[in-house]
Structure 1
């Protein structure tokens, strides 16, 4: 039976990415040796997201996918949405490729509205638009944990969670500077510097990036600046402190408008749209977001077996937007005329969160225990001012097939109504977990009690919930590398805003049973996971097909999602790696108390999805130093609307990535590399839809060239 340290977790993570690492490749026919570079990049306070412990992914009785930072860079990832493209069980970019200001995805069919950054929630102004969005330039890796995680993190959908791990300071001095350009007039520059602070036991990391580009849609831009410094300090052999800051300003965030399915997915002789068609107005399209977060981690080891970890963060965020929206009743498919409604929002929020963990290892007879006791707390206060300015018909007819995107004259607008929403959320959780090793068995059990309070002035609603969630799981490690597992877990998901009549929604409750098998070869060149899951969510809140306004959502009886996930990585040769996945999901509304939706499948849930990614590193000949990578991702048909009246077509997208180590041209180029990334190589059109009036084009082909110098 294997025992894995934090260093072993990193080794497995690096292997699992099969992302073009340089492996030992002898020129003779002698037996090959597989070598992994021994570098700890995750920091002393890092713990496995799934268990808040050092339990390795292959020892954890639940599905986990990990995407490391090298792979994110090779794929040219610019958002969490894009990072999840090749992850089984995840349907990402629900608002297509032109809406990049949000990370919109689901796991095993259930929407995820909040992600985590270094184990703490990125707090979201529920019902509105304001939520921090971490740029991948600051990430070491992304962890996707499948199934309920409420037992460790509190309020959470039953499909799973995503935790982004920040780049940590390192003792070894290293600086990486990058310049990039490409499609849509992209201009990007970044620097990532780390090293020791003098001769002390402290180390630093400073990450800075600026990016500006045109949006996929006409008359839109995207602009971002990131600054993320952090410091690690080993005060003593037993006490470690990390202080971190993250600042991001997005002066331009593209657009947030949708298009009708007619003339896009459905043929219409009256006309058609294209991926660059803008349904908004250049004179009234403004999205600006700014936020900063300051946090710390303190870990103290009392002895070899017991330690305490506290992680805390303060968050301050603002967002301003001017935009238009439309509804199905405002579209005339025979002419292409589209009635749009003009609005603006000013949003701000402040919040903080803290997680306290006491962990210990001890034995009772032949049983090894790794026990965790924790208390976490979060509070968020925010306000949104929503203003309505009437219809664009006051400036004439707007035709989506021949759009005039300069119709609105802001000086002639008058406010028809203003609404203010004050949102408050407070949550306290107490949790306990025990991991047991008994011979080849790994057993895990945990429970949590949550006390949750929220209020919304706009809906005149308050919610007060106390819930208990728990999980149990078991995994058996055979000596041949196979590890069958089974687990059961529950989830708790309160709804912060209320109904239009002022009454709160009930908390959504979920439960999952998952069983499967994991495999890791002795030489760690082959790994695989096969999982069957069955999730039931009760008192589920869904959008009302007859009235899309937030206060008129439906709280139906039950949604069931069951399916199969297969994920594997294979090092075919020391220079050639493959990773592949397949997902099958059968998701249905099985009980409906408010609306005739029983038997329907929710939107954004393909029945079948599959991915393949490969990387080959050339280490001899004229192409020595070249990395050639590429992938294909298939997303099956999805329902177009809640009542399942039509379908969104399936899509198959091909991506490519080529890198070259310029050191092959001479020693004066040591540390320099150049990379070419082409996403959607064949410019395949793809679509997502909320309903027939609100659809989005997927990301069109993009080409990026970046040059990197490391010293």
Structure 2
């Protein structure tokens, strides 16, 4: 019976912002006979945090500011008002029964629920003069928002698997039907706090606290019928899969704000709604060849159809996001070595991509951009070598571009939050024997290239390199009664580098500074 538990009580690098979390995930498997199993899965998580996402001006975080660089702990909200609280749970099961060596059936069921409460104050930008020039490059105007969300998700998947051979051609065939329903409410409201001096903040000034102005209820239903066959003949492996989806998305918006009286009137709500129905056929196929040397070249093509939760500022449900991906590559597993190296080139095209709404009057809302394309090369290697050394390395070179959009200044620009280059290397050594058996040390480096936080590519966040480290110990090596217990300490950004993770729409966000996390894990 595995039981994952976690508890974290900590401050964050941002002033007045804690970061507490509690998590438990019990599960167990019942196996009445060799051909039947039922696994119960669940988890519960509670987050009690502050407003760690600070919208800092470009001048002062990335670019120079006459008043100096802003500290990474800069807090532009209101202590005692800003917080982020989230509570979520999920329960479900995975059932499998094998009738014989040819036939098996499986059913997976899951229900998840999440609630969040997020009152937040954020900066809109510098206070400017009549010519839109910042008056002192230190005073910012602010907006207070209140976001309350609740969503429940039910998923059910049923499929049958057939394993058979026709001559010397082996088949693993699947036929299934799945269903997913998401029902959620989103409440939003806004208020007007006072301006704030970022370099010498004075908190606690009176301001109009936000009230709920709009309520959007959305229900999303999706039914999918799918089939797949994996075919193996000698050293050739081919996969063919097809799927047909039916999806509906219904949105009901309730407005409590009365523009005629400029006030909230809960007694006279105004309603508006929309419904969108979609259906799509998608397929995927792949082909690979297994050489005796451990080399396996492959090619695959896949299509996607993903109903998108949420709606525009006007309450119109989002259209499903669709995509097409080509990938060609080679995998290499050296004979006699526990290692795998993969080199792949890909091109991914997506339609109806969700991006932030550029209208300043629609803060917190999103729109759908026409189409976008990403293409690149990925290299990844994993190896478990003798004497307890594990190695993981990865490198990705990605070119992205907006290929269709309603915003003229976005056409041909790079996608948001998509660095052109990313790379990582991690080494982990565990002493296999002797007095220090079970003691392990790890270290690695992560590189993230420059990226843009908005589709107009107006402001760029520079690249950064971070060093991580870890130490861990298998307590069962100390005492057999502690078998399954592992004590570990992980350190992210070991040298406490200050860096900007991304920028967009006039604001930038600092990345995490040094983070030390100690944990005790026990499996039985």
TM class, shorter-length: 0.7 to 0.9
Larger RCO: 1 or 2 (CA < 8 Å, sep 6+): 1
Equivalent position SS for 1:574: helix
Match in the other structure for 1:516: 329
1:250 aligns with 2:42: no
After superposition, give the CA deviation of every residue in 1:606-664 in whole Å (9 maximum; x if it has no partner). 11111111122345677565322100000011124322233211100001112345677
Equivalent residues of 1:640, 1:691 under 8 A apart: yes
Equivalent position SS for 1:489: strand
Match in the other structure for 1:230: 27
Match in the other structure for 1:448: 243
CA, structure 1 residues 209+613, in 2 after alignment: closer, same or farther (shift >3 Å)?
Answer: closer
Structure 1 residue 526, shift from structure 2 partner = 2.4
Matching residue within 125, 136, 139 for 1:337: 139
1:375 aligns with 2:177: yes
Equivalent position SS for 1:326: strand
Structure 1 residue 690, shift from structure 2 partner = 4.3
Equivalent position SS for 2:80: helix
Q: What is the 5 A alignment of 1:165-564?
A: 204-252=1-49, 255-328=52-125, 332=134, 334-388=136-190, 390-393=191-194, 397-404=195-202, 406-408=203-205, 413=208, 415=210, 418-458=213-253, 460-501=273-314, 503-547=316-360, 549=362, 553-564=366-377
Matches of 2:166 and 2:368 in 1, distance apart? 47
Structure 1 residue 571, shift from structure 2 partner = 4.3
Match in the other structure for 2:494: 681
Query: Please, what TM-score do these two structures have when normalized by structure 2?
Result: 0.87
Equivalent residues of 1:262, 1:333 under 8 A apart: no
Matches of 2:17 and 2:365 in 1, distance apart? 32
Structure 1 residue 693, shift from structure 2 partner = 2.8
1:568 aligns with 2:381: yes
Equivalent position SS for 1:447: strand
Match in the other structure for 1:646: 459
Structure 1 residue 488, shift from structure 2 partner = 0.7
- Gaps (5+ residues) in structure 1? 1-203
Equivalent position SS for 2:57: coil
CA, structure 1 residues 691+225, in 2 after alignment: closer, same or farther (shift >3 Å)?
Answer: same
| Greater radius of gyration (CA) | 2
After superposition, give the CA deviation of every residue in 1:642-699 in whole Å (9 maximum; x if it has no partner). 2223321110000111234567778899877654432111111222234153221111
- For these two proteins, the number of residue pairs brought into alignment is 501
Equivalent residues of 2:4, 2:522 under 8 A apart: no
Equivalent residues of 2:185, 2:217 under 8 A apart: yes
Equivalent residues of 2:460, 2:503 under 8 A apart: no
- Gaps (5+ residues) in structure 2? 129-133, 254-271
Match in the other structure for 2:412: 599
Equivalent residues of 2:289, 2:298 under 8 A apart: yes
Equivalent residues of 2:399, 2:420 under 8 A apart: yes
Structure 1 residue 573, shift from structure 2 partner = 4.0
Matches of 1:265 and 1:293 in 2, distance apart? 41
CA, structure 1 residues 373+266, in 2 after alignment: closer, same or farther (shift >3 Å)?
Answer: same
Matching residue within 486, 511, 514 for 1:698: 511
Structure 1 residue 339, shift from structure 2 partner = 1.2
CA, structure 1 residues 338+522, in 2 after alignment: closer, same or farther (shift >3 Å)?
Answer: same
Equivalent residues of 1:682, 1:701 under 8 A apart: yes
In terms of mean alpha carbon deviation, does 565-574 or 258-267 score higher?
565-574
Equivalent position SS for 2:60: coil
Equivalent residues of 1:251, 1:288 under 8 A apart: yes
Equivalent residues of 1:257, 1:324 under 8 A apart: no
Match in the other structure for 1:588: 401
CA, structure 1 residues 256+703, in 2 after alignment: closer, same or farther (shift >3 Å)?
Answer: closer
Equivalent residues of 2:241, 2:284 under 8 A apart: yes
Equivalent residues of 2:94, 2:109 under 8 A apart: yes
Equivalent residues of 2:43, 2:90 under 8 A apart: yes
Matches of 1:643 and 1:408 in 2, distance apart? 35
User: Which protein has the bigger strand share?
Assistant: 2
Query: Please, what TM-score do these two structures have when normalized by structure 1?
Result: 0.66
CA, structure 1 residues 291+706, in 2 after alignment: closer, same or farther (shift >3 Å)?
Answer: closer
Matches of 1:414 and 1:552 in 2, distance apart? 20
